[in-house]
Each structure stands twice: as structure tokens, then as C-alpha cells.
Amino acid sequence: MSDRWRTLLKFGLPLGMIALLSMALLLGKLSHSDSVQTTTRLLMGTMVSITTSHPSPMEADQAVKRAFAEMSRIETLMSSHQSSSTVSHLNRVSRETWSPLPAELAQLLRRGLTISTQSQGAFAMGLEPLTSLWGFSSDKAATEPPTQTALEAWLKGYPATEPLSLQTLADHTTQLRLNGPSVGLDLGGIAKGYAIDQAIAVLRQEGIQNAIVDAGGDLRAIGRKGDKPWRIGIQDPRQADQVVALSLLQGDISMVTSGDYERFFLYQGKRYHHILDPSTALPADSGLQSVSVQAADATTADALSTAIFVLGAEKGMALLDHFPGSAVLLITDTGKPIRSAGFIGEWLPKPSPPTTNSPSKQP
Ligand code: ADP
Ligand code: MG
């Protein structure tokens, strides 16, 4: 073997690696030049923002349009506020009778029903008559709670087990039955997460690798923002403009928050919010102000955050055990944070109060 060959064998590999490394550095550098753009639209009763970090703004624009179209399709399918939606139609035709269920809805309901079972019915997709009674399903905010008589009548008509049933026929199609006068589909606790997952799937199909779909604080992030992770703040449940925790997310992760501050009214000094406990017909009162769940997908995170909000800290943590890889940050009634192992995020120190008695001018 010639000296030249020997030298090549000795140094060829490292030289090749250096070449690869500089390629990687170059690519890394290219990804820094990704353009970051955000588009916001009003969908599903909330502001939905899609942010992409992608080399071609035009490609990103096209992908984002398709992702919004997909979310809008899901809203038309699953909203219980729109009388023309498929869910509203099912609410008219499935009460105490079997009726055909579109495959996509069947699949989502099956996922949700697993969480209903695991949460002993705390997560419930059949509460439409109750959310209507409370006025949380209409655009016009309620100002006072329903009467005791109305709540008792609802409780009487709501089955303790299996409020809604699915059956698969020989041709593999599914049928739905709503069991009782108090049951109607309301997918408000899971559909937003599903829409986020579908939007991410569309973005990926369109070649976008770095993005965040954020529906009013419920989100899924993929990839990175240029060369940095996505920075996500968790809102203070009692001060909308304050952030209490900061999560640096990258890769593929969802984070969904359920809180008593999202939809509520005050009546005689008491807060009545939109997450209802089916066992009492009242807003859940489990000692929590907010529940932020991190999970592999937004559908799971959405359903879990609602379920844990109803169950409270102890039972909620036990529910989480069924979902390896998911984690939670709870904020209790007293504002105390409780974090499960694996939750990505830092609790931020409270800004120190002003030192003088004069009205503060915070920067
Ligand atoms: P948001 O939609 O405000 O982010 P959630 O994901 O916690 O909050 O969902 C709350 C919505 O879910 C309510 O507005 C209602 O439509 C529905 N819902 C209320 N109580 C329950 C419950 N116990 N289980 C499942 N869904 C519920
Ligand atoms: Mg939810």
C-alpha cells in the first residue's frame, strides 16, 4: 500500500466527517435564515394563530391557508353552537335511538370515551343540555346560574354510567345513541385539541417542519423557531396580562390548559365557570384554578386537562399515570403551583411589589 493510500485511510474518514460537519453547520445556518411568520384567525370561538419557521414565506403561506381550512372543516363538523354542524344534527336525531355516525367522529368519540372511563365520567362529551342550561354554549354570556329545579331535573335525566353509546355494525360503520333527555354531544373539551392536531398534520404534509398552532393558549409545537426552541408562556389565572410559567418546547409536543378564567361569570361575588362536574351539574370545584397538560398530541392533552380540572389534584395525577410521557402543571385555588415529573417549564418568580406608596409605574 502506498503512503498516499495509508494517509487517506488514516485521515480520509475524519476529513469526510469534517466535510459532513461543515455541511451540517451550513444547513444549521440556513435554518437560522428561516422566515418566521404568524397568521391569526377567529375560529372555534377563539383566536387561532399559526406560526411557521420556514425558508420560503410563500410555501409557508400556502400551508397555513390549508391548515386553517382544515380547522374550519372540523369546526363545521364538531361545533355544538352551529345548528348546521354534524354534531348539532346528531343531537337532533340520536336521542334514545341509534343513528349513523361519521367515521371521523366515531374515532374521536372512542378516544374521548376511553378518557371518560378512566376519569370515572368526569370527562364527559354528552353535556350539551347542561352547558346550554348554564348559558356557556351560546355567544351571549349568562349572568346568573340556572335554578336549583332546572339543575335537579338535568341530574335526574343524566345516566350515571354510559351517557352515550357507540356500536359497530357488521359493515364496520358506527352508530351513536344518546342515552336520556339530559344527554347531547358537546365536544368543547376535546375538539379544539383535535383541530390543532389536524392542522399540524396538514402543515407537515405541506412540507413545514417548524411550526406552532396556538388556539387561545392551547397548542402543539413541532421543530424549532429558527435555531431556538419555541417559548411558551402560561397565563396567570387571575391576571390575564401576567405569565406565571415559561416552557421552552421543541420537537413535537402539545400543551393545553383548562382554567376557570376562560369562560365565566360572577354572580353575587361567586365565580361560575364553564367546566362542569357531571356528578353535581355545577362548575367543577376541585380546588384548582388551572391545569396545563403536556402530551404527545393535542387531542389527548385537551381531554386530559378538562378531566383533571374536574377531578382535582390527587385523582388528576392518578389519571395521568395512564398516559406515559404526559405531564401537568396545576395551579391551586391559592395560586400554588404543583408540577408532575417531566413537565417542561419553569415557574417564574413574581415581580416584586413597588417599594414606594405612590402609584407604581412599572416598566
Ligand atoms: P377551553 O375549551 O376553554 O379551552 P376545556 O378544554 O377545558 O376549555 O373545555 C371546556 C369545554 O368543554 C366547555 O366549554 C364545554 O363545552 C365542555 N365541557 C364542560 N365540562 C366538561 C366536562 N366535564 N367534560 C368534557 N367537556 C366538558
Ligand atoms: Mg379540554
Residue among 155, 213, 274 to mutate when testing ligand 1 (max atoms within 8 A of CB): 274
**Which ligand 1 atom sits closest to the C-alpha of 190?**
6
pLDDT in tens, the chain (363 residues): 444 433 333 333 344 444 444 443 444 444 568 999 999 999 999 999 999 999 999 999 999 999 999 999 999 999 999 999 999 999 999 999 999 999 999 999 999 999 999 999 999 999 999 999 999 877 677 889 999 999 999 999 999 999 999 999 999 999 999 999 999 999 999 999 999 999 999 999 999 999 999 999 999 999 999 999 999 999 999 999 999 999 999 999 999 999 998 899 999 999 999 999 999 999 999 999 999 999 999 999 999 999 999 999 999 999 999 999 999 999 999 999 999 999 999 999 877 666 544 333 333
Query: How much distance in Å is there from the Cα of 75 to the middle of ligand 2?
Result: 15
Query: How much distance in Å is there from the Cα of 270 to the middle of ligand 2?
Result: 23
Q: How far is 71 from 81, CA to CA, in rounded Å?
A: 16
The class (CATH top level) of 86-178 is mainly alpha
Dihedral angle, C-alpha 142, 145, 147, 152, nearest 10 °: 110
Q: How far is 338 from 358, CA to CA, in rounded Å?
A: 35
3-class SS of residue 347:
strand
Ligand nearest to the CA of 131: 1
Ligand nearest to the CA of 216: 1
Which residues line ligand 1 at a C-beta cut-off of 6 Å? 122-125, 127, 131, 136, 186, 188-189, 192, 218, 258, 262-263, 274-276, 278, 302, 305-306, 310
Rounded to the nearest 5°, which phi and psi values hold at 296? -65, -30
Query: Residue 347 corresponds to which amino acid?
Result: W
CB 287 within 8 A of CB 330: no
Query: How much distance in Å is there from the Cα of 189 to the middle of ligand 1?
Result: 4
Query: How much distance in Å is there from the Cα of 190 to the middle of ligand 1?
Result: 8
CB 312 within 8 A of CB 277: no
Per-domain residue ranges for the chain? Answer: 86-178
> Which residue's CA is minimally distant from atom 19 of ligand 1?
275
Q: How far is 191 from 256, CA to CA, in rounded Å?
A: 12
3-class SS of residue 186:
coil
Q: How far is 235 from 15, CA to CA, in rounded Å?
A: 50
- The CB density around residue 5, as the number of other CB atoms within 10 Å, is 10
Query: How much distance in Å is there from the Cα of 180 to the middle of ligand 1?
Result: 20
Residue among 127, 128, 139, 291 to mutate when testing ligand 1 (max atoms within 8 A of CB): 127
CB 284 within 8 A of CB 264: no
Query: How much distance in Å is there from the Cα of 36 to the middle of ligand 2?
Result: 28
pTM of the model: 0.89
**Which ligand 1 atom sits closest to the C-alpha of 305?**
7
- The CB density around residue 62, as the number of other CB atoms within 10 Å, is 14
Q: How far is 143 from 122, CA to CA, in rounded Å?
A: 25
Q: How far is 63 from 43, CA to CA, in rounded Å?
A: 17
CB 91 within 8 A of CB 137: no
CB 312 within 8 A of CB 287: yes
Rounded to the nearest 5°, which phi and psi values hold at 248? -105, 105
Q: What residues flank ion ligand 2 with Cβ within 5 A?
A: 189, 302, 305-306
3-class SS of residue 178:
strand
Query: How much distance in Å is there from the Cα of 7 to the middle of ligand 2?
Result: 63
CB 287 within 8 A of CB 317: no
Ligand nearest to the CA of 132: 1
Rounded to the nearest 5°, which phi and psi values hold at 189? -90, 0
Query: How much distance in Å is there from the Cα of 172 to the middle of ligand 2?
Result: 29
For residue 252, give the C-alpha cell: 413535537
Give CA angle at 326 (320, 329), nearest 5°.
80
Residues 6+ apart with CB under 8 A from 343: 294, 327, 328, 329
Q: How far is 165 from 178, CA to CA, in rounded Å?
A: 7
Q: How far is 216 from 191, CA to CA, in rounded Å?
A: 13
Q: How far is 121 from 117, CA to CA, in rounded Å?
A: 6
